[in-house]
Each structure stands twice: as C-alpha cells, then as structure tokens.
C-alpha cells in the first residue's frame, strides 16, 4: 500500500473520530468547535515545532556530511600530491642511475675501442717488422 493511501486513511479516520465525538459529546456545538480548534492549533503548532526541529537536524547533518566530504577530498588531494611527489623523486633517481650507466657504458666502450686500436696497430707494426725481416733475410 502506498504512503499516500495510508496517510489518507489516517486523516479520514481522524476526521470520522472527530465527527462522531462531536455528535455524541455532551458539550454544546460551540464548545466542541472551540475545543477542536484549540486542539487542532495545539497539534498544528506541535507539527510546526517538529518540522522546524527536523529541518534544523537535517541542515546540521548536511553540514557535517559536507564537512566530512571536504575533509576526505583534502586528504585524497594530499595523498595524490604525496604519491606524485614520491613518483617524481623515484623517476629522478631512475633517470640519474640510467644516465650514470649510460656514461659508464660509453666510457667502457671508448676504452675497449682504444685498446682494440692499439692492439691492432701493434699487430700491424709487428707484422711489418716480420715481413721486413723475412725480406732482408731473403735478399
């Protein structure tokens, strides 16, 4: 059953109860109307107070939720900044290590090239010497 049907049933029951109470009441119609009006105002004022209190609680809860959401967003921002900062530091270390390794490989390659050239030059010089010795012995 929908809420509106339940509410309509409750209000209808109240109206029927008031009507029956007025018909069988020993008081006069004017007194009954005055009593109903006073009680109606009392209930209306009570509902207004409840409504104001409910709104107040709603806005307090809403404010707390907004504050919590704002704090959570700030914490997430701080975490992201921390992670990005750590990532940048890590990347700088990796880049420096890579640059160092590249320089070391280049240095080693140059040394190996120098050694190979020197060895080859020595080999050529020694080969020339051997050939010249052989030529001189043959002549």
In tens, the pLDDT along 115-132 reads 999 999 999 999 998 899
Buried b (16+ CB within 10 A) or exposed e, 66-97: eeeeeeeeeeeeeeeeeeeeeeeeeeeeeeee
Comparison of pLDDT for 34 and 109, the residue scoring more: 109
What is the per-residue pLDDT across 13-44, written as a single tens digit (0 to 9) for each?
A: 888 777 777 677 777 777 877 887 888 888 88
pLDDT of residue 4: 79
| Predicted pLDDT of residue 6 | 80
Output the pLDDT for position 36: 75
What is the pTM (predicted TM-score) of this model? 0.41
Buried b (16+ CB within 10 A) or exposed e, 20-43: eeeeeeeeeeeebeeeeeeeeeee
| Whether 36 contacts 19, CB under 8 Å | no
């Amino acid at each position: 059953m929908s809420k509106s049907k339940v509410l309509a049933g409750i209000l209808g029951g109240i109206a029927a109860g008031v009507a029956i109470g007025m018909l069988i009441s020993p008081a006069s119609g004017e007194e009954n109307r005055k009593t109903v009006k006073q009680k109606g105002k009392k209930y209306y004022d009570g509902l207004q107070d409840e409504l104001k209190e409910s709104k107040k609680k709603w806005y307090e809860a809403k404010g707390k939720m907004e504050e919590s959401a704002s704090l959570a967003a700030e914490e997430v921002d701080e975490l992201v900044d921390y992670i990005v900062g750590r990532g940048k530091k890590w990347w700088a270390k990796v880049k420096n290590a890579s640059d160092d390794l590249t320089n070391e490989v280049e240095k080693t390659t140059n040394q190996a090239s120098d050694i190979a050239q020197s060895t080859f030059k020595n080999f050529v010089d020694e080969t020339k010497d051997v050939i010249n010795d052989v030529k001189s012995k043959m002549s």
